[in-house]
Amino acid sequence: MAALELLVLASAVAFVGVGAGVGVKLLALARRTRGFPELVVGFSLLVLAGVAWPLMLVARAPVPPAALRTAYVGASLTMALGWAGVFLFTWRVFRPDAGWARALAGAGIAVVLAAGLAGAIRALTLPDATALRKPALPGVVLLLSAQAVYAWTALESFRYRTLLRRRIPLGLADPLVADRFGLWGWTGLCGAGSILPATWASLTGGDPGSQLSHLVVGVCGLLSSGVLYLAFLPPAAYVRFVRENAPAAASGGGP
């Protein structure tokens, strides 16, 4: 196996392990706190990393037609559910009172669920199962919707991180919370990058298996897993680093 293919495989394994682990942790937290953000993020991460991505790996392997159809049905539905959860989280956490955000989230959820259902029906009814590996409208819509919600999530997360960092010197924000929003923004950007080659290939008819595509997917996948790990499972050394490098209160005497 070529080095770039190993990189893609390593990034997929890392994302599945970290994403599913964080998803389970957040769902356990939501069970105790009844908190909405951890419930939605935990669910989205678990179905995307723990279910959808492994199914896509199965779909790309030389498996019998029945297994191929099953993998595509499951991947289409779970990707739709996962990305719908990201739309819901971004609206409810960052812009709960904004009408445009509610409309955007509602439209995004409707589109990804419809595309996911259409993709599942196609996987069940297409005469030639191997043709499922070719780009089709439901898959293109899913990928474009994911790009949109990842971009929205990243913008809102970075904006909120900036707001919180301004409040840290006043004692009105926790440095770790501010850092977590920044890391969540990077998770969105890296997530968008990891599916960019597939999106581009679906739109242009390019080769999603090219060396450049493997490099982009592998690097973005590993970075996504890394920032996700630091956001929700930070080691003690990283926690100390964030606190020691937080904005300090401005000093200065009165007149």
- Domain-wise residue ranges, the chain: 3-244
CA distance 142 to 129: 20
Question: What is the tens place of the pLDDT at every residue in 122-131?
Answer: 999 999 998 9
Contact yes or no for 15/56 (Cβ under 8 A): no
Question: What is the tens place of the pLDDT at every residue in 160-198?
Answer: 999 999 999 988 899 999 999 999 999 999 999 999 988
How large is the C-alpha radius of gyration of the chain? 20
Average model confidence (pLDDT) across the chain: 91
CA distance 64 to 219: 31
How far, CA to CA in Å, does 182 sit from each of 55, 83, 157, 185? Answer: 30, 20, 6, 5
Please name the helix (run of DSSP H) or strand (run of DSSP E) that holds residue 233, with its range, or none.
Answer: none
pLDDT band at residue 204 under the 50/70/90 scheme: confident
Q: Is the pLDDT of residue 92 over 80?
A: yes
Question: Span 3-244: which CATH code?
Answer: 1.20.1070
Q: Is 167 left (phi over 0), alpha (psi -120 to 50) or beta?
A: alpha
CA distance 72 to 205: 20
Q: Report, as an integer, the average pLDDT of 221-236.
A: 94
Q: Lowest mean pLDDT of 16-25, 78-87, 215-224, 241-250, name the range.
A: 241-250
Q: Report, as an integer, the average pLDDT of 101-108.
A: 97
pLDDT reported for residue 255: 39
Contact yes or no for 108/146 (Cβ under 8 A): no
Share of the chain above pLDDT 90, in %: 73
Name the phi and psi angles at 136, rounded to 5.
-145, 160
Q: Which of 59-68, 107-116, 201-210, 240-249 has the highest mean pLDDT?
A: 107-116
Tokens at residue 110, please?
Answer: 């409707």
Question: What is the tens place of the pLDDT at every residue in 12-51?
Answer: 889 999 999 999 999 999 999 998 999 999 999 999 999 9
Q: What is the value of pTM for the model shown?
A: 0.91
